[in-house]
Structure 1
Amino acid sequence: MPVIIPTSWREILLYLALATGAIFACTAVYNILFHPLHTFPGPKSHAISRIPYTYHWIRGDLVRHVAVLHREYGDVVRLAPGELSFGDPQAWNDIMGGGSKDLKKWAGIFGVPKFMPTHVQNTTDKSRHRMLRKAMRPGFSDASLRAQEHVVSSHIDEFIQKLREKRGTIVNMEVWYRFIVFDIIGDLVFGESFGCAKGSEFHPWIREICETAAVMSYLMAINMYPILSDVLNFLIDSLAKSGFAAQKKILEPILERRIKYGMDRLDLVAPLIAKMDEWKWTIDDLIPHAIVMV
């Protein structure tokens, strides 16, 4: 039997395209007819590929899209070839409750971004996540939040006063909402406000967060595709690390001042500061957790 060997780039690309198409077709048939989840209801397009899921993730309307699917298909919907969504609240207790199998976190979501140090949100290590969550719990307790009520109130008062000063002018409330939210969370995490409302402009670090939010959405979407994710992370590793180093340069002096305050103030970062000696943490270890809180 003769063997056809491609002799030009055009032929090579043609064979690659045919091979890719064949692989996609075979995968689609498997996902629809033979995959362990093939009996669950949901759109065929979602069963064939994760692309529709990724599309809505990037658009930012995934939650609304899932709600529509639940209204159409019921309490259980197949969102992607290997993913189900449960609309019944009891599912949380059945799947994640005590006594259930210890489910491994999916790196497609929780391992993002790979170039950043691990923190409570992106670590896929269950024991580390449990340790961090336990340590951070006091900062989110009812007593701790009540103790910070005056902090929140003072920022809201300043926010309202600033809006009164702008009476009769056009105000972008979406921007001002961000001002007050970041000022409050900055005070609760770092012990000092970012001063957005006071200066009527974003703090440099907050501006960077707002500008990179969409980029992070794309990175998380790409991370759902392992091979593509590995290639991308390799390509942007040095660039991303330099970006993180710039954030670190801004946050280091802020956190150093917060550490000097000690434990007199029971804010969100206080429980982690209390553990720094025990865990032999430096300020570099604390920064990623402070970032994710904000």
Structure 2
Amino acid sequence: MLAFDLPSHQVLSWLPVALIALYVVEILSRTFFGPLRRVPGPWATLLSSLPLRYQAIKARKVFWVHELHQKYGPVVRISPSEIDVADIEAFSEIHKIGSPFLKSPWYVMFRGAVNCFTCSDPKIHGRKRKTLARPFSKTSLRGNWEAVVVNLAKQTVAKMKEEATQGTTDLLKWWTFFATDVTGEVAFGEAFGLVESGQKPKYILDLESVNRARALRAEVAPLYNVLKTCTFGYFDPLGQADRNIERMSFDIMRNARLRQLPKANIISGVLNESDPEDRFSEREALLEAIMLVVAGSGTTAITLTYLCWAVMFNPAYQKRLEEELASVGQDFGDAQLEALPFLNAVVQETLRLYGAAPGGLPRTSPKGGCRLAGFYIPEGLTINTQAFSLHRDPLTYNDPLEFRPERYLDGKMDGKAVFAPFGSGSRTCLGIHLAYMELRLAAATFFRECAGVKLADVTTPESMEIVQYFLIAPKAQRCLVALR
């Protein structure tokens, strides 16, 4: 008998030893030869992405990464193939125009389809953005949709006042209705009717639930894909939900076109472009419409909610803002509001601390690797630059955790910091001017019409603690206020 020709029971007895040996070799290999072994971070992140995924599922990912920065410095390893960078120069290099740092596959994994937001190919993105950017310019927005935003803001505040006669009103609920109706008007030419009805239709409920689940799927993609494969595609709840949402979105888009609404809207614009190269197919328009509704509703609603809460939590700021707003005429417009120093400082400070999507903006390191903040990063790895940490840099901001709008007065912060609540570079959010318009007009309408509004007793710093999956939200999932 040859030495290696062992009986089967002896082979089985050695199997656990072999598996343990392989595991030890893997640990040693990652510890001493892993591509990010020289980047500081917890030892466990050399071996596995589980610590990162665990924090994401707990809705604490941005907090955990920020704590790592406080312990290890501006560049930290958060998984065997992923880092986060909180360095101003590195951020500028990663997100500059023409950057070789392309969007990582996470974006398509998150959305499940390619649109202007998820697209990583610069040429495809450039074509899509060129077509979509025109209607999102400040001039176009003020000419076509400012009156719509003003009217919806007035209707929303009126509904808040009506609800508050019963005791309190929920700002998060009503600002969500407001922002979603605005995106309906801009995308399709008519609102979804949330402000009027005070309820969310099935389409919006499905969209919200799917996006919460999609954020989790992006964090546990390997497990999700294994279950999908092992069940021959039977386990794919998000895939089926996406198909249902696309079907409902197509119906909304088709009905809007059949009615030939007189108002301009984004979808009709991209479908009717005069230049064939810029014109979108129905499928492209559909995916962009879904993106607009998702990106333009929850984000603005969350930021508006935190803006109102932060101002009311500081009575001196509330008094100052209400006095400034009293100085403008009754029929104010966005251009007038843009000239108000304190209102705009409040908006900026809210976006700094409570931007709705403060996560990592994942990019892929370019071919040949790169050097960032003194560390060499091999090609093909994921590089995050979470705004949550950049906006809380104590080297840039005095008392970075405090809500202090005055820091943005008199040009004190000009050019001194990374400010990226809407991303940066050529991938800056298309809806940035629409978001600013909504924030200014809605906040101004609220604090003029509801001067002296107070936080309800149950609305506390604890109830407003941030939880974060993809977007942030108050832990209580509401923000109750009482009107005089």
TM-score bin (small chain): 0.7 to 0.9
> SS where residue 278 of structure 1 aligns?
coil
Q: TM-score scaled by structure 2?
A: 0.51
Write the distance in 1 (CA, Å) between the matches of 2:118 and 2:161. Answer: 41
Over 3 Å counting, the alpha-carbon distance change for 1:196 and 1:113 in structure 2 is same
Counterpart in the other structure of 2:129: 133
Deviations 1:196-242 (A, max 9, x none): 1211110211111222233112211123x4xx454345435765454
Counterpart in the other structure of 1:198: 196
> SS where residue 276 of structure 2 aligns?
helix
271-280 vs 51-60, which moves further: 271-280
Counterpart in the other structure of 2:103: 105
Counterpart in the other structure of 1:231: 226
> SS where residue 84 of structure 2 aligns?
strand
Write the distance in 1 (CA, Å) between the matches of 2:50 and 2:33. Answer: 19
56-65 vs 253-262, which moves further: 253-262
Counterpart in the other structure of 1:166: 163
Write the distance in 1 (CA, Å) between the matches of 2:199 and 2:39. Answer: 49
CA contact (8 A) 2:270 2:280 kept: no
Over 3 Å counting, the alpha-carbon distance change for 1:49 and 1:167 in structure 2 is same
The structure with the greater share of residues assigned to strand is: 2
Q: CA deviation at 1:68?
A: 1.9
Q: Which has the higher contact order (CA 8 A, sep 6+)?
A: 2
282-291 vs 196-205, which moves further: 282-291
CA contact (8 A) 2:134 2:140 kept: yes
Report the residue type matching 1:151 in the other structure: V
Counterpart in the other structure of 1:43: 42
Counterpart in the other structure of 2:71: 72
Counterpart in the other structure of 1:143: 139
CA contact (8 A) 1:57 1:217 kept: no
Runs of 4+ displaced beyond 6 Å: 261-264
Deviations 1:62-117 (A, max 9, x none): 222222221221111111111121112221222232465x234322x122158x44
Over 3 Å counting, the alpha-carbon distance change for 1:194 and 1:264 in structure 2 is closer
- Report matched runs for 1:1-294 at 5 Å: 1-3=4-6, 5=8, 15=15, 19=19, 23-98=22-97, 100=99, 102-107=100-105, 109-112=106-109, 116-147=112-143, 148-169=145-166, 170-223=168-221, 225=222, 228=223, 230-234=225-229, 235-236=233-234, 240-259=238-257, 265=263, 267-269=265-267, 271-275=269-273, 278=276, 281-294=280-293
Write the distance in 2 (CA, Å) between the matches of 1:256 and 1:2. Answer: 71
Q: Percent identity?
A: 21
> SS where residue 285 of structure 2 aligns?
helix
Write the distance in 1 (CA, Å) between the matches of 2:283 and 2:274. Answer: 11
Q: How many residues align?
A: 283
CA contact (8 A) 1:77 1:84 kept: yes
> SS where residue 83 of structure 2 aligns?
strand
Write the distance in 2 (CA, Å) between the matches of 1:16 and 1:217. Answer: 37
Deviations 1:156-201 (A, max 9, x none): 1111111111123243433223222211222221211111121111
Write the distance in 1 (CA, Å) between the matches of 2:142 and 2:241. Answer: 36
Over 3 Å counting, the alpha-carbon distance change for 1:245 and 1:28 in structure 2 is same
> SS where residue 76 of structure 2 aligns?
strand
CA contact (8 A) 2:188 2:268 kept: no
Report the residue type matching 1:91 in the other structure: A
The structure with the greater share of residues assigned to helix is: 1
> SS where residue 67 of structure 1 aligns?
helix
> SS where residue 128 of structure 1 aligns?
helix
Write the distance in 2 (CA, Å) between the matches of 1:141 and 1:87. Answer: 30
> SS where residue 103 of structure 2 aligns?
coil
Report the residue type matching 1:192 in the other structure: E
CA contact (8 A) 2:74 2:85 kept: yes
Write the distance in 2 (CA, Å) between the matches of 1:138 and 1:245. Answer: 29
Report the residue type matching 1:145 in the other structure: L
Counterpart in the other structure of 2:414: none
Write the distance in 2 (CA, Å) between the matches of 1:276 and 1:112. Answer: 33
123-132 vs 181-190, which moves further: 123-132
Q: CA deviation at 1:118?
A: 2.3
Write the distance in 1 (CA, Å) between the matches of 2:6 and 2:261. Answer: 75
Over 3 Å counting, the alpha-carbon distance change for 1:130 and 1:29 in structure 2 is farther
Q: TM-score scaled by structure 1?
A: 0.81
CA contact (8 A) 1:139 1:270 kept: no
Q: CA deviation at 1:30?
A: 2.5
CA contact (8 A) 2:184 2:191 kept: yes
42-51 vs 169-178, which moves further: 169-178
Over 3 Å counting, the alpha-carbon distance change for 1:161 and 1:23 in structure 2 is farther
229-238 vs 197-206, which moves further: 229-238
